[in-house]
């Protein structure tokens, strides 16, 4: 069984002067150190200049409503950087699940449909504004397509974990890091920087890991259960909110979910979907046994140690009675 220890937040320079040595890249990718999603941000690794874009216009993300959630008002203070009590473990070897993370396909330069020298240019600023460069549409790697469903579920969770520690930002791609003075949508991070919001995060993970192209607008992603792929139409299995009080169906829902399922969460009045989380399930371990999810949120959630989890991309608990549970609307299972 392959274990994955949670990385701790680190300070990242905006533009590294040089790429890291090969051995450091390999270690960083395997343990999921934030900021090491492949090659250094200054390296051009993709020969072709342009690809198809996942987003066709700016604003295809979430509305920031998760920032209104605060379930950590009584959180314990912690000394120094946040240290997660949660761990990930996989049946398949991690280097096999993320075989392409250290290849050109997994580089920072490959994240967008545009070449890197255009990411911070006037055309991107004019067309995409604060959202930045659009994501590249990835094809499903041939090595992935015929793998068992259980392996694919582990791959998409492992792919998501590569970005633990990144901030919650209204951007299209994780490593888009604009210069000072670029338009910015205010969020919990307090400044512009690397990161994505909830539906761009879920869209990115399925796009890169499996070549499944979900709309990154939170409302459209929640509504659409069919996508076109290179192998034909793919239909998600819907998992609907059970009838009755949430306390009555929590255990049954948890039992029915599988790693990689996307759960759509409504606002507290349940008038509309505002957020999406990915089920980690059996790929994660919590000291108190609470099942885990991974998401990018501006909300404040408490971990099993009683500490507030920073906003951004982290493992979080799916507690009985929590906002995630009480406002669960439905889920999509793309791997079945």
Q: In what helix (H) or strand (E) does residue 2 lie, and over which residues does it extend?
A: strand 2-5
For tokens 């974990």, the residue is 161
Distances (CA, A) of 223 to 46, 83, 113, 204, 238: 34, 35, 25, 17, 10
pLDDT value for 115: 95
Q: How far apart are CA 240 and CA 252, in angstroms?
A: 12
pLDDT tens, residue by residue, 233-286: 999 999 999 999 999 999 999 999 999 999 999 988 888 999 999 999 999 999
The answer on pLDDT for 298 being more than 60 is: yes
Radius of gyration of the chain (CA): 19
pLDDT value for 28: 40
By the 8 A CB rule, do 119 and 132 touch?
yes
Which tokens go with 319?
């507690």
By the 8 A CB rule, do 52 and 136 touch?
yes
pLDDT tier at 172, thresholds 50, 70, 90: very high
pLDDT value for 5: 58
pLDDT value for 63: 77
Distances (CA, A) of 201 to 242, 271, 285, 296, 299: 26, 23, 22, 7, 15
Q: How far apart are CA 88 and CA 269, in angstroms?
A: 33
CA 114 from centre of chain? 21
pLDDT value for 65: 77
Q: How far apart are CA 26 and CA 16, in angstroms?
A: 17
pLDDT tens, residue by residue, 7-62: 544 333 333 333 333 333 333 433 444 444 443 344 444 444 457 888 877 667 77
The pTM (predicted TM-score) of the whole model is 0.86
Long-range CB pairs of 21-30, under 8 A, 24+ apart, other chains included: 25/102, 26/102, 29/98, 29/101, 29/102, 29/106, 29/162, 30/94, 30/95, 30/98
Domain 35-40+56-333 falls in which CATH fold? endopeptidase fold (from Nostoc punctiforme) (3.90.1720)
Q: How far apart are CA 313 and CA 302, in angstroms?
A: 14
pLDDT value for 268: 82
pLDDT tens, residue by residue, 125-144: 999 999 999 999 999 999 99
By the 8 A CB rule, do 260 and 278 touch?
yes
pLDDT value for 24: 36
**DSSP secondary structure of 209-274:** HH------SHHHHHH--EEEETTEEEEPEEEEPPSS-HHHHHHHHHHH--TTPEEEEE-TT-SSEE
The answer on pLDDT for 197 being more than 90 is: yes
Task: Tell me the residue length of the chain.
Answer: 336
pLDDT tens, residue by residue, 310-335: 999 999 999 999 999 999 999 999 99
From the number of C-beta atoms within 10 Å of its C-beta (0-12, 13-18, 19+), residue 168 rates as: buried
The mean of the pLDDT values for the chain is 87
pLDDT tens, residue by residue, 59-98: 677 777 788 888 899 999 888 899 999 999 999 999 999 9
Helix (H, G, I), strand (E, B) or coil at 329: strand
pLDDT value for 229: 83
From the number of C-beta atoms within 10 Å of its C-beta (0-12, 13-18, 19+), residue 158 rates as: buried
Q: What is the mean pLDDT of residues 187-195?
A: 92
């Amino acid at each position: 069984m392959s274990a994955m220890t949670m990385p701790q937040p680190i300070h990242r320079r905006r533009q590294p002067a040089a790429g890291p040595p090969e051995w450091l890249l390999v270690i960083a990718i395997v343990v999921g150190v934030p900021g090491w999603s492949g090659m250094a941000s200054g390296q051009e690794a993709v020969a072709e200049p342009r690809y198809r874009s996942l987003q066709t216009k700016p604003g295809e993300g979430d509305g920031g409503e998760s920032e209104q959630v605060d379930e950590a008002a009584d959180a314990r203070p912690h000394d120094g950087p946040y240290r997660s009590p949660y761990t990930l473990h996989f049946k398949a070897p991690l280097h096999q699940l993320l075989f392409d993370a250290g290849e050109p396909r997994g580089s920072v330069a490959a994240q967008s449909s545009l070449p890197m020298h255009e990411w911070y240019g006037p055309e991107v600023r004019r067309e995409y504004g604060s959202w930045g460069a659009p994501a590249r549409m990835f094809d499903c790697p041939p090595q992935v397509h015929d793998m068992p469903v259980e392996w694919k579920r582990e791959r998409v969770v492992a792919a998501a974990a590569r970005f633990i520690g990144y901030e919650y930002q209204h951007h299209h791609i994780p490593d888009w890091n604009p210069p000072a003075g670029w338009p910015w949508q205010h969020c919990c991070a307090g400044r512009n920087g690397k990161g994505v919001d909830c539906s761009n995060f879920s869209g990115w993970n399925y796009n890169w890991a499996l070549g499944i192209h979900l709309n990154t607008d939170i409302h459209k992603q929640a509504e659409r259960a069919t996508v076109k792929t290179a192998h034909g139409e793919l239909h998600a299995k819907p998992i609907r909110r059970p009838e009755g009080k949430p306390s009555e169906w929590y255990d049954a829902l948890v039992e029915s979910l599988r790693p990689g399922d996307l759960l759509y969460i409504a606002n507290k009045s349940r008038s509309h979907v505002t957020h999406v989380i990915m089920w980690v399930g059996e790929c994660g371990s919590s000291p108190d046994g609470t099942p885990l999810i991974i998401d990018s949120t501006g909300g404040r959630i408490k971990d099993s140690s009683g500490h507030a989890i920073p906003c951004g991309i982290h493992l979080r608990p799916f507690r009985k009675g929590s906002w995630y549970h009480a406002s669960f609307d439905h889920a999509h299972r793309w791997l079945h």
